[in-house]
Amino acid sequence: MEKLWVVDFGSQYSLLIVRRARELGVYAELLPWNKLPQQIPPQVRGIIFSGSYASVSDGPPLPVEWIGERPILAICYGAQWLARHFGGVVAESHAREYGPAQLELTGDSPLWRDVPPKSRAWMSHSDTITSLPAGARPLAQTTDIPYAAYTLPEKAIYAVQFHPEVTHTEAGATILRNFLYEVCGFTGGWQPEAEIDTIIADLRARMPEGYAIGALSGGIDSTVAALLVHRAIGERFQGIFVDTGLLRKGEAEAVLAAYETVGLPVRRVRAAQAFFSALQGVTDPEIKRKTIGRLFIEIFETEARLFSDVRYLVQGTIYPDVVESGAGVSATIKSHHNVGGLPERLALELIEPLRLFFKDEVRAVGRKLGLPESFLRRHPFPGPGLAVRILGEVTPERVARLQLADAIFIEELEKRGWYDRTWQAFAVLLPQKSVGVAGDQRRYGETIALRAVNSTDGMTAEPTPLPHELLFEVARRILAEVPEISRVVYDLSTKPPATIEWE
C-alpha cells in the first residue's frame, strides 16, 4: 500500500497533516524526527516535514541521508530547517507573523495549480528565511517575508512558511492535493473501510488460540475495536462493559441494545457505587481522571480473572490517543483512559486494531460493520464521562442533575434539527450558586453551562450559532424541570484559547 510519511518536529498541527492527507485519499503515518528509519521503504512515495515550536537556531536534528530520494513538502519549521541545511540563512524575524497573511505567488510550481495569485494563508513563526540556498527558487511572498515559499527543483523539495493543513489557509487543501498527486504521483483512493478485511486477517494470524477480552466503555472506539476482533475470532472474544454510572441519561441501555444488534457478546458490570465512593471529595480534574482510570482497571482486572485461557486484551486506542500520550515528539497533553498499565498487570498481549485510525475513520469502519446510525452519530464523549463535566465533587445527586439538563439540551437540538448540524453539544454543571425565584419562593441553586461547537477535527472549534429561541426554550425547560438549578448560561468561547471540554 502506497503511503506518505509525515515527519513530526513537534508541531501542534502535525497530526492534522496526517488527517488532511487521508481525507485526500492518501494513507499517511506520523514519524518522530528522531526515530526515522535509515532507508525509505518503496511504498513511501512522498514526505512532509511538519512545523515545530522550536527554532532551527536551537540546534536542528542531524541530517538524514535520504533527503532528495522522495519529493518533500516542508512546512514552516521544516522549510526553515531545509533552507539552513542546504546553505540558506534563517534569522529571527523582526515582524513575527502569527495569524492570517496575504500570500502572493511569485513563481511557477505544480503546487500552485488552481491556486489564486493572491489568497489568505495562516502563519505561525518567529524565525524567517532571509537568504535561500544555492539552486533554490522563490515561489511566494507576503507583505513581511520575501520567501513564503521556495523550491529546490533538483531535489524535488517544496517548502512553505505557512500552514496549508489548517482551514484558515484558503488554498491549503488544493496545495496539499497538488503535492500528493501532481508532485508525488499518488494514485489515491484510500478509504478506512477498505482496510477491514486486512485488519481481520491480521487479527486471526495474531490470535491463533486462546481467548480475548475487551474493555468496553460504551463509546465508538472500544465498540468498533471489539467488533473487529469478534469478527476475527468469533466466540473466543468476550466484552466487558463497566457501567460507571457516569454516562449520559439512558446511555448504558442504548449501548447494550446496540451491542445486541450486532451480536457482540458483552457482560455488564454495574459499578456506579464503587466509582462514586472513590470520587468522594475529589475536585481536581486530573485526579478525577486518574481515580476513574485506576478503579476501572481494578474492576476490569477482577472480572477478567473470571474467564479462563485469556491471552489478549482488546482496547479502542485510536491514533490521537497514541500521539497525545507521548508516543510522538510532543509532550503528553492529558492522561488517557486507553494507554495504561492494564495489559502488564494482567500479563496479556495488547490488541489495538484502531491505533492508526482517526475518529471519523473509526465511524466509517463501524458503519461498514453494521453498527446502528443512532449509535454512530452520537457526539464525542470523554472517557471519564460526566465526571469531567461536573466541576467540583461528583455525587449521585449532581450526576442525576446534569444527566437531566443534558438530556433536555440534546432533545431540543434533535427536535429542531440542530443536533446533526453541531459537532458536539453538552451541558456542564458548575459549582457556582446563585439566587433564583421559583413561584413565590427564593431558590439558591447551581448553574448549568451549555456548550455547543462546530469543528472539523476537534483541534479548533467555534461556538455553534444556535437560534435564540432554541436557547431560550432549553433554559426555560432546565429551570422548570431541574429544581436544583437556578441559572443557565451559554459558553461562547472558541478553541483556542479555550478547550472544548471544561475539564
Average pLDDT value for the chain: 90
Q: Say what the pLDDT of residue 323 is.
A: 65
Q: Give the mean model confidence (pLDDT) for residues 92-112.
A: 85
Beta-strand ranges (E) seen in 50-188 are 72-75, 89-105, 118-131, 137-141, 149-152, 157-160
Q: How far is CA 367 from CA 194, 262, 266, 375, in A?
A: 12, 11, 20, 10
Are β-strands 266-270 and 237-243 bridged in parallel, bridged antiparallel, or unpaired? Answer: parallel
Kindly give, in sequence order, each residue whose CB lies less than 8 Å from that of residue 343, ignoring residues fewer than 6 positions away. Answer: 313, 349, 350
Q: Is 143 exposed, middle or buried (0-12, 13-18, 19+ CB in 10 A)?
A: exposed
Q: Give the mean model confidence (pLDDT) for residues 42-51.
A: 95
Eight-class DSSP state of 155: G
Eight-class DSSP state of 269: E
The neighbour count for residue 373, using CB atoms within 10 Å, is 9
Q: How far is CA 185 from CA 24, 78, 113, 336, 353, in A?
A: 13, 22, 15, 38, 29
Q: Say what the pLDDT of residue 440 is.
A: 64
Of all residues in the chain, the percent with pLDDT exceeding 90 is 70
Q: Global pTM?
A: 0.78
- Write the DSSP string, 405-442: HHHHHHHHHHHTT-STT-SEEEEEEEEEEEEEEETTEE
What is the CATH architecture assignment of 192-376? 3-Layer(aba) Sandwich (3.40)
Give pLDDT tens digits for 284-320.
Answer: 999 999 999 899 989 988 998 898 999 999 999 888 7
Q: Give the mean model confidence (pLDDT) for residues 260-285.
A: 96
Fold of 389-490: GMP Synthetase; Chain A, domain 3 (3.30.300)
Task: Name the CA radius of gyration of the chain, rounded.
Answer: 25
Letter string b/e over residues 183-199, b meaning 16 or more CB atoms within 10 A of that residue's CB: bbebeeebebeebbeeb
Q: What residues does each domain of the chain span?
A: 3-183, 192-376, 389-490
3-183 and 389-490, same CATH topology: no
Give pLDDT tens digits for 62-75.
Answer: 556 788 899 999 99
Q: Say what the pLDDT of residue 95 is.
A: 58
- Write the DSSP string, 10-54: S-TTHHHHHHHHHHTT--EEEEEGGG--SS--TTEEEEEE---SS
The neighbour count for residue 101, using CB atoms within 10 Å, is 20
Place of cell 459499578: 271
The set of cell numbers assigned to 408 is 433536555
| 314 contacts 230 by C-beta, under 8 angstroms | no
| 336 contacts 324 by C-beta, under 8 angstroms | yes
Among the listed residues 404, 426, 396, the one whose alpha carbon sits nearest the alpha carbon of residue 503 = 426
| 276 contacts 394 by C-beta, under 8 angstroms | yes
What is the CATH architecture assignment of 3-183? 3-Layer(aba) Sandwich (3.40)
3-state DSSP assignment of residue 283: coil
Q: Say what the pLDDT of residue 329 is.
A: 42
Give pLDDT tens digits for 330-359.
Answer: 433 344 444 455 556 667 899 999 988 988
Q: Supply angle C-alpha 20, 26, 32, rounded to 5.
A: 70
Give pLDDT tens digits for 123-156.
Answer: 887 788 999 999 999 999 998 889 999 999 999 9
**From CA 131, how far away is CA 217, in angstroms rounded?**
54
Catalytic positions, written as ranges: 76, 163, 165
Among the listed residues 110, 202, 115, 395, the one whose alpha carbon sits nearest the alpha carbon of residue 280 = 395
The set of cell numbers assigned to 123 is 502563519
Kindly give, in sequence order, each residue whose CB lies less than 8 Å from that of residue 298, ignoring residues fewer than 6 positions away. Answer: none
Q: Supply angle C-alpha 262, 256, 259, rounded to 5.
A: 15
Letter string b/e over residues 380-415, b meaning 16 or more CB atoms within 10 A of that residue's CB: ebbbbbbbbbbbeebeeebbebbbbbbbbbbebbee
Give pLDDT tens digits for 380-413.
Answer: 888 899 999 999 999 999 999 999 999 999 999 9
